[in-house]
Amino acid sequence: MSSSSSSSSATLKGCCCCFFLLLTFLALVVVAVVVVVVLAVKPRKPQLDLQAATVQYLLVETPPGGPGSGVAYLSLNISMLFSASNPNRVGIKYAPTTFYVMYEGVPLGVAEFPGFYQPAYSRTPVETRVSVQRVNVMQAAAADLVRDATVTDRVEFNVKGDVGARIRALGITLPNVEVSVDCVIVVSPRKQSVTYKQCGLGLNV
């Protein structure tokens, strides 16, 4: 009986060892294939450029107490047109995400960035919009907002977010690449128009 048990145990250990070696071999094959694909494709980072920004309206209101109350209400509707550029010989899959629109670090709202597939060597227009109604901006930011809107006629917003992108080649999805978007949009409340826009783009793997 003990001889039979020892034989079964040895067989089980042999099977486990073979299975482990098989998994290790397959993992090495997958890594090798990914490396070969990366070297063959030579992936380059996608580009996201802010082509245009249009103001439908921007309204800053103060309560009956006036600017000294430390509260201001902001209503805003801005559409933004980005251009996504794929410089690679293979397609890119972008994940949906959100851009945060802020004033002096105070979150005002979000702009939805849709997920989509982009073919090789192509440019794709992507439109997104932020719309907020009577957001309560309090304390120091409220006083600055009222001053910027009524005195300097220059309200500066920041648009920030990370867009995940994956390159897919020969049926293999390469590691995720994050393109960080950090834009500045300056609006003139009197003209109800964008007077300045600038984006800085970073790459995180």
Please give the residue range of the domain that contains residue 37.
1-41
Do 28 and 128 share a domain, yes or no? no
Do 37 and 66 share a domain, yes or no? no
Do 32 and 54 share a domain, yes or no? no
Do 23 and 77 share a domain, yes or no? no
Q: Measuring CA to CA, how many Å separate 200 from each of 13, 92, 158? A: 57, 21, 11
Number of domains in the chain: 2
Burial environment of residue 161 by CB neighbours within 10 A (0 to 12, 13 to 18, 19 or more):
buried
Do 51 and 28 share a domain, yes or no? no
Do 155 and 67 share a domain, yes or no? yes
Tens-place pLDDT, residues 166-202 = 887 666 666 677 888 999 999 999 999 999 999 875 4
Do 163 and 62 share a domain, yes or no? yes
Do 27 and 115 share a domain, yes or no? no
Tens-place pLDDT, residues 24-75 = 756 555 544 444 444 445 667 788 889 999 999 999 998 876 666 678 999 9
Do 108 and 52 share a domain, yes or no? yes
